[in-house]
Amino acid sequence: MIDPTTTTIVSPDYSRSFFGHPRGLATLFMTEFFERFTYYGLRTMLVLFLAASTTAANPGYGIDNETAGAVYALFAGCAYLVTVPGGWIADRLIGQRNAVFAGGIFITVGNFICAIPATPAVFYAGLAFTVLGIGLLKPNVSSVVGALYEGQPGARRDAGFSIFYMGINLGAALGPIIAAGLGEDVNWRLGFGICGVAMIIGLIQFKLTEKYLGTSGLAPIVPPEQRKRTWIMVAGVFVLALIGAAALFLGKDVPSEQTLARGLFIGEVALAVAFFGYVLLFGGLDTAEKKRVGVIIIFFLCAALFWGGFEQQATSFNIFALDYTDRSFMGHLYNEGMHPAAYYQAINPIGIILFAPFFAWIWVTLGVKNLDPSAPFKMGFGLLMMGFGFLIMMFAAQLVVSTDAKVGPQWLFMAYLIHTFAELCLSPVGLSNVTKLSPPKFVSRMMGTWFLGAAIGNTVAGLVGGHTSSLTKAELPHQFWIMTLIGGGAGVVIMLFARTLRSWIGDRK
């Protein structure tokens, strides 16, 4: 029997279809397309804009690279961290669809605030609005996709999510090219404004085609007293956050961006330790379940380490493209005849679109022959590949030092492509196994920790990437070598212990 107070009852409109799937999938596909367009457009511009000279033809704030990296750490880390309460608010109060729409409004307002030629404080307020919007929209739009396929075969659901994932990567590819490209090439504020306009288009199409979602993602039926208590709790947390922010920024001794980013990192790690400690010690799990949770913890650490290296695309790789890469090929009318450094941020999502079917085919083919590598081995191999991408960057940096000249774009192309292969080995595998290995009563919260791992990784990417970007070109090879050792070393360790971890999962093949 279905409990309407806890379960979304789905009756999507099948009168029209989208590639043989519910027409509502197109609604969500386009919503996520425009949201990812705005996120990756803003993400790509962020460090470049903050570090751009105030006296340049296209001025930024002239912030040093290390501080700019810390701002990125705060933005990207919080963007993933707030998806946890964003999902909780939707489940308990407003429903996934209302959360998606409200999140889109916050994202739109945030980007338009960033487009205002004003002080850094105003710009940071725009980033804060955007973060709140991502927290509401990002987890819930995926939940509505899942609700469309309630009661349908798993293969059909997987195919629907594959189409949806295509929308994510199309938006992620076009955001850097269009919004960030025009922002860097013409005017930064124009780039942020384009992101805001894109999200408005996404919201309009969402409302115009929302009827095709049926009843999926509607607000849950919650007893009035419980709803009232939840709203009071949410309002209290919001007020406390405002008071804390006011006390922080109106005080005499305002902490630096680096200090705030390090504090965020400590808080994220403490939250992860507290959650996993509670599950292991007080979750009422048997020995087999604890072993599987132990594997999830290791996967969580792998993910945090991987995203800490991978997301340096927006920090150290971005600065390397700007300062040390010859971008004269297909130069533009503006920007001194060079194509924008932001363009390189599109390599990864385009690579995902092109190579994801190939990797899926590889795993299926190996599985038929009983040669499919275990999940721990794939995770370790992904980390090893991430380290190899940094090794390529080390060689590129050494070439910059030895020749005292910029290097060709092929180095960034190779590094981005290898990191894309690493992502295809690690990210889908980790996501799938978290849902498979989690104790039933902790599945949703375990999925929240996967986003927490991404939050930690993005925070680390900002801090480490900002530090890397502030180094002289003579110091760059050593820094990239350190990242090579960390990623590659961790990957080798995980691969060596893959058989043991496989036995903890319960798969002894």
The CA-atom distances, in angstroms, between 169 and each of 83, 164, 215 are: 19, 9, 27
Q: Is 271 exposed, middle or buried (0-12, 13-18, 19+ CB in 10 A)?
A: middle
Domain boundaries, the chain: 17-221, 257-329+337-509
Least confident of 386-395, 448-457, 500-509: 500-509
CA 469 to chain centre: 21
Per-residue pLDDT averaged across 148-165, rounded? 73
Q: By the 8 A CB rule, do 218 and 93 touch? A: no
The answer on pLDDT for 197 being more than 70 is yes
Share of the chain above pLDDT 90, in %: 50
Q: By the 8 A CB rule, do 51 and 319 touch? A: yes
Domains 17-221 and 257-329+337-509 fall in the same CATH topology: yes
Q: What is the pLDDT of residues 4-16, one digit of tens each?
A: 333 344 455 555 5
Share of the chain above pLDDT 70, in %: 89
Tokens read off for 382:
């992904």
Residue by residue, what is the 3-state secondary structure of 86-144? HHHHHHHHHHHHHHHHHHHHHHHHHHHHHCCCCCHHHHHHHHHHHHHHHHHHHHHHHHH
CA-to-CA distance for 189 and 179, rounded, in angstroms?
Answer: 10
More reliable by pLDDT, 470 or 236: 470
Which CATH number does 17-221 carry?
A: 1.20.1250.20
Is 257-329+337-509 assigned to CATH 3.10.20.30?
no
CA angle, 322 as apex, 320 and 328 as ends, to 5°?
Answer: 115
Confidence of residue 19 (pLDDT cuts 50, 70, 90): low
Q: What is the pLDDT of residues 84-129, one digit of tens each?
A: 888 878 877 888 899 999 999 999 999 999 999 999 989 999 999 9
Least confident of 169-178, 284-293, 364-373, 389-398: 364-373
Confidence of residue 138 (pLDDT cuts 50, 70, 90): confident
Query: Which sign, positive or negative, has the C-alpha torsion 61, 174, 97, 448?
Result: negative
* pLDDT score for 206: 95
CA-to-CA distance for 98 and 8, rounded, in angstroms?
Answer: 14
How many other C-beta atoms lie within 10 A of the C-beta of residue 363?
A: 16
Per-residue pLDDT averaged across 193-204, rounded? 97
SS3 247: helix
Rounded to two decimals, what is the model's pTM? Answer: 0.87
Tokens read off for 127:
């980033």
Q: By the 8 A CB rule, do 85 and 135 touch? A: yes
Residues in the chain: 509
Q: Which candidate, 109, 43, 107, places its Cα nearest to that of 74?
A: 43
Residue type, 131: V
* pLDDT score for 241: 67
Helix (H) or strand (E) holding 21: strand 21-22
Radius of gyration over alpha carbons of the chain, in Å?
23
